[in-house]
Amino acid sequence: MKILAASALASIQDSGRLGYRSMGVGRNGAMDSWSLQAGNALIKNELNEPAIEISLGNLTIEFEEDVSFCLTGALYEAYLDDKRIPCYWRINAKANQTLKLVRPLQGMYTYLCVHGGFDIEPVLESTSTNTKAGFGGFEGRYLKADDTLNVKVASHLPVIGVARLTPTQMIRVIKSSEYECFTAASQEAFETQAWKLQTNSNRMGYRLAGESALEFAEPVEMSSHGVDIGMIQVPPQGQPIVLMADGQTTGGYPKIATVINADIGMMAQIRFGKACQFTLVGLEQALHEQQKRHHYIKQIKEYADEN
Amino acid sequence: MEIQWQICSETNLALFFPKPVTLDKQRQCWALADIIKKMPEVIEVVIGMNTLSVFTVSLTLTELRNVEQALSELLNDMPSKTIEGKHVEIPVHYGGKYGPDLAAMSNDLNLSVEDVVNLHTEATYTVYFIGFQPGFPYLGGLSESLYFPRHAIPRTQVPAGSVGIGGEQTGVYPFESPGGWQLLGQTDTSLFDLTKDSPTLLNAGDTLKFTAIDIHE
C-alpha cells in the first residue's frame, strides 16, 4: 500500500522493544498497546504484529492489493473511497481503493492493522520505530507521502465489529519509590486536582500542569535509575511528567507514582488541553485490572477466530 | 543504612544504594545484574548510578513478592565485579552556543569558565552504565567542585552531542532529546552506530577523558 498524503504523525509500532535497555535503547512501541492488541486480535493477527500508529491530522493511503484491515484506538473520521467507515470493524478494501483518515474525533492514537501484517524487517528484535535514534519501523522515521509498505498477504475476511474499551480520564496509579518524599498536602493534591495535558507532550512524555505544584518534604536529588512507561516523574518545579512509550531508559527525577499497566492506553488517549485525574490503587487491584484487559483481548480473539 | 528493593510498578523493582556514589558500589551493581539476569522471571536488568532496576514478565502478586524475596536474599552476601574496559578520548567544544549553561554554572560555582573546563577535562571518568537514550554514557569521577543540580524545568530540546552535568554525574547526549542536565559543551563523536558489531561506542567499565577543542565565552 502507498501513502498518498500524510499530515498526521504516523509510524510503525509493535508492542515494543525489550532486552536492549543496557545499551540505552528503550521500549518504543504502541502508545496504547491494548488498542494495538485489540486491532490485531480482531484482524486475526499475532497480538504483537506491527501496525501503523496515527495521531493528529490526516493520512491518505492507496491499497495496491485486496486487504482486510481495521482501525482501533482513537476514533477517526475515516472513509474508504467516499464511504464513511467505522472504527473497531473488520473492513475489506480492494486494490486501488483509497483509505482516508481525516481527523481523530476522540482520543489521540489510532492503529491501522492489516490481516497478515506488514513486511517490516525487525531491528534489535522489534519493528517499532525509534524516531529519535532513527532506526526500526519504516526507515526509522514517521511515514510520509510516496512511502510504500508491503502487506504480506492479500485477504478478504468476513465483516465483524467489536466493542471498544470506554475511554476515561480517571487514571489509576500505584505509589512509586519516592511517594513518601512528598508533603502530605501534595500527596492529597496529586489525587484530588485535575492535571491538564500540555501541548509540549509527545510519545516520550506527557507533561501535566495542575493548579498547585507538588512539593517535596525536603529537596531530593537522585542518581539516575531505570525507568519505564507509566512512571510519573516530578521535576523540582512540581509539575509531573508521565513517561510514555518513547520514554528514556533511565532518569533522575523522583517518581511519585506509576500508571497501572491496564490504564496506560487510557492515559495515552488523553488529548492536549484535556485533564486527567489520578486515583491510587493497591498492587493487587493493579494486577487484577491487567487481567481484565487480557480477558477483553482474549474475547475479541475468540470472536474473531470464529468468524 | 539498610537497603531494600522497592516495587515501582507491576513489573519493576528498584534498588538504591545509599549516597555517596562510589565505584565500589557500582561494581556490586555490575555483579548483581549478572546474577539477576539469569532469573526466569526477569526480562532485563537496568544498571543505574549505584542503582539497579529489574524488569519482570507479567506476574501475579504472590510471584512478584517471591521475586522481591529472592532479590532481597542476594543482598546478604553482596558480590562485586571488576570490568577492565577500553579507554576513549572525546573532544569537546566548550561554552557559547555549544554549552549554553557553562557561563551561568561557572558563575554560580564561583569559578572561571576555564577552571570549569580544566576540572572537567582533567578527570579520568569510568563509564558506570549506558542509559537514558541509545549509547548515552553515565560517567563517575566528576570533580566534586562541579556537582550541580539539574534544571528545575527540563529543556524540551537538547542538541545531539551535548556534554552535560546532572548532580554528581556527567555524560553525553548521543541524540537530540529533552533533558534536564546543565550543558557545558558539544562533541562531534558518534556514540551509537547500528552498523557496528557493538552499536554503543562505550560500555560499562570503559574509561574516558574529555579534551577541549576550543572554549567559547
pLDDT tens digit string along B104-145?
A: 999 999 999 999 999 999 999 999 999 999 999 999 999 999
Q: What is the structure's pLDDT at B29?
A: 97
Report the topology of domain A170-292: Cyclophilin (2.40.100)
Rounded to an integer, what distance in angstroms lies between the CA atom of residue A121 and that of residue A55?
23
Task: Give the mutation candidate from B133, B158, B165 for the A interface (greatest A CB count, under 10 A).
Answer: B133
A19 vs B: CB within 8 A: yes
Q: Which residues of B touch A19 (CB under 8 A)?
A: 43-44
pLDDT, chain B, mean:
94
As for the ipTM of the complex, it is 0.90
Q: Is the pLDDT of residue B1 over 60?
A: no
Answer whether A93's CB lies under 8 Å from A85's CB: no
- The pLDDT tens digits of the residues spanning A243-296 come to 999 999 999 899 999 999 999 999 999 999 999 999 999 999 999 999 999 999
Smallest CA–CA distance, residue A190 to chain B, in Å, is 17
Would you call A248 and B177 a contact, using CB atoms and an 8 Å cutoff? Answer: yes
Q: What is the 8-class DSSP label of residue B116? A: H
Interchain CB distance below 8 Å, A228 and B64? no
**Chain B residues whose beta carbon lies within 8 Å of the beta carbon of residue A235:** 150-154, 180
Contact across the interface for B50 and A26, Cβ inside 8 Å: no
Q: Taking residues A196-216, report their average pLDDT.
A: 96
Chain B hits for A122, Cβ within 8 Å: none
> Does domain B4-75 bear CATH number 3.30.1360.40?
yes
Cα of B118 to nearest chain A Cα, Å: 24
Contact residues on chain A for B154, CB-CB shorter than 8 A: 235, 241
For chain B, which residues make up each domain, given as ranges?
4-75, 87-216
3.40.50.1820, 3.40.50.150, 2.40.30.10, 2.40.100.10: which CATH number matches B87-216? Answer: 2.40.100.10
pLDDT at B178 over 90: no
**Domain spans of chain A, in order of start:** 1-163, 170-292
In chain A, which residues have their Cβ closer than 8 Å to the Cβ of B9? 174, 176, 228, 230-231, 258, 260-261
**Residues of chain A found within 8 Å of residue B180, distances taken between Cβ atoms:** 235, 252-253
Three-state secondary structure along A55-122? Answer: ECCCEEEECCCCEEEEEEEEEEEEEECCEEECCCECEEECCCCEEEEEEEEEEEEEEEEECCCECCCC
- Count residue pairs from A and B with Cβ separation < 8 A: 164
A84: which residues sit within 8 A by CB, 6+ positions away? A77, A78
